[in-house]
Structure 1
Amino acid sequence: MLTDYHNHLERGTLTLDYLKQFTDQARAKGIGHFGISEHAYHFYQTRNILSNPWVNERRYYDMEDYVKLFQQAWDAHIDVKMSIEMDYTPGKHEEMAQFIQGYDFDYVIGSIHWIDEFGIDLGEYKHEWDLRDLKETYTRYFDQVVTLAESNLFDIIGHIDLVKIFNYIPTDEDFLLAQYERATTALANSKTCVEISTAGLRKQVEQLYPDPRLLQLCYNKGIPIVLSSDAHVPEDVGKDFDKAIELAKSVGYSTIMTFEKGERKEVPLG
């Protein structure tokens, strides 16, 4: 059994024809559980959660159209899960909860892309990495991982160590392991699963998310996993899953989690 729960339509259209390109690819790759998780910031209904100039230029969807798309897919007997990837936003727990509870999602992904007004994974902000204290940035990033887990709002945390995307990684291993330790402790006390994402292999860091040492701590603390490609185009669905499965098994995992209408079920991996 394989999952691919983290995928985006944003480079195409919210149409059944475009969605089907993704689901066809998933079926061809033998992925039994496939979901679309569009970025929440694209939707007008999230204006009260995350707002900044970069995001506001990209807010152009309505949730009514999104829900209708999935209903069309289900009516056409296309097996696809409806999800959302929400930017975890400190201080907006009530607003995030209200949005999440307003729709019948199969699961919800929470991710961290912003530290205040710093878009950590955006090319437009890449120059800022050289202007900031690296350890402070990592500390503040993992502060959010902890509070994301403590919020218990999300089924999955997306690309848990996205902060390494541009290959800015502290050389102080004790410091790094301390961040991993506190993050996994918080996650172990929550309902939140961790995704193994192959997207990092397509980024400057050229690594899977998470780091093997971080994933080992997840396994040791009993944190469930899912597999994801974070595909933004159909051809990336399920990409490099052999490497994701190899990493999962190397630290001890033999099962993954599946979701349907908020219900979770553990199934054998592979």
Structure 2
Amino acid sequence: MYDYHVHTTYSDGSFLPQMIDAAEEAGLEGVGFADHSNVFDADRSYRETMGFNLDLTYERRRRAIDRARERTDLRLFDAVEMDYHADREGAIESFLEDADFEYAIGSVHAVDGVNVHNEPYFADLSQADREAAVETYVEHLVSLVDSELFEIAAHIDLVERNEALRGLLTDDHYRQIADAFADSRTVPEINAGRVLDSYGKFHPREPLAETLLDAGVSFTIGSDAHAPDSLVECSEELQAVRAEWDVPIVELDV
């Protein structure tokens, strides 16, 4: 099994050698380092709030991955997880062409400049405004998939992590998302990033996953792990759900 979505200290994860050791312990055949990046200035961006951005450090990380390849039998992928915004597609495309990662993961993390994890912000909104926020999230996600800038789309129902937004995705949203993936080269992932915490669910949740499967959509696997222990534990969970759901899994042509 390949885990295509792991983070290191080049964004908000753990040291790269530790993540490789964990991937070996988990019995993986390969692991993809997809650290966060964006290439546009925005409120609450990773550059402004966290002090890092892979667009400035990917060449140094690439050298570290190359050195690590000499010390492991695992297949190591040099990848990126990029924030997506429709009016920044040109900048994203230009950066991806210049950086030449083995693959790119696209993510929608924010609605109107606010991270969708920000529960107090969305909890203070009216029901109508929360529904509008989820509608905007779906529009951004569909635009991401339609752009075909990315091989993988990450945690495609991320709004479900936020209790103030949970349950607001509708059957119509599911169909919009499934139709977009059915017509795109971009593949959604089964993401275990919050399966071990209080949220306790995979992305996508089963109703959306079933709609995607009905549309003939395949998946990749991603732990979204930021620490060695979670990589090992999420790998076990992903193996189990992969068998339980009987989903078609694709390996990227990289």
Q: What is the TM-score when the length of structure 2 is the normalising length?
A: 0.87
Deviations 1:160-203 (A, max 9, x none): 1111112234556xx61111110110111111111111112134
2:132 maps to 136
Residue 256 of structure 1: SS of its match in structure 2?
A: coil
**DSSP-derived class of the 2:99 partner:** coil
Q: d(CA) in 1 for partners of 2:227 and 2:37?
A: 18
Q: Percent identity over the alignment?
A: 22
Alignment partners' CA distance in 1, 2:41 and 2:86: 10
Counterpart residue type for residue 214 of structure 2? N
Q: Is the 8 A contact 1:198 1:239 kept in 2?
A: no
- What is the aligned partner in structure 1 of residue 192 from structure 2? 198
Find the residue that maps to 1:201 and give its secondary structure: coil
Structure 2 Cα separation of the partners of residues 86 and 143 of structure 1: 17
TM-superposed deviation, 1:89: 1.3
Q: Which residue of 1 aligns with 2:142?
A: 146
Pick one of 118, 122, 126 that aligns with 2:119. Answer: 126
Alignment of 1:155-234 (within 5 A): 155-169=151-165, 171=167, 176-234=170-228
1:58 to 50, 64, 83: 50
| Separation of aligned partners in 1, 2:156 and 2:13 | 27
**How many angstroms does 1:129 deviate by?**
1.2
SS for the counterpart of 2:194 is: helix
In structure 2, give the amino acid aligned to 1:52: D
Using the size of structure 1 for normalisation, the TM-score is 0.82
* CA RMSD of superposed structures (Å): 2.4
1:1-270 → structure 2 map (5 Å cutoff): 2-10=1-9, 18-41=15-38, 46=39, 49-55=40-46, 56-60=48-52, 61-77=56-72, 79-121=75-117, 125-132=118-125, 133-169=129-165, 171=167, 176-253=170-247, 255-259=248-252, 263=253
Q: Is the 8 A contact 2:187 2:217 kept in 1?
A: yes
Tell me, which stretches of 5 or more residues in structure 2 are unaligned? none
The DSSP-based 3-state class of the residue aligned with 2:170 is helix
Deviation at 1:12, TM superposition (A): 8.3
Assess if the C-alpha contact under 8 Å between 2:44 and 2:114 holds in 1: no
* Distance change >3 Å, CA 134–CA 36, structure 1 → 2: same
Unaligned runs of 5+ in 1: 265-270
* Whole-Å separation in 1 of the counterparts to 2:222 and 2:188: 10
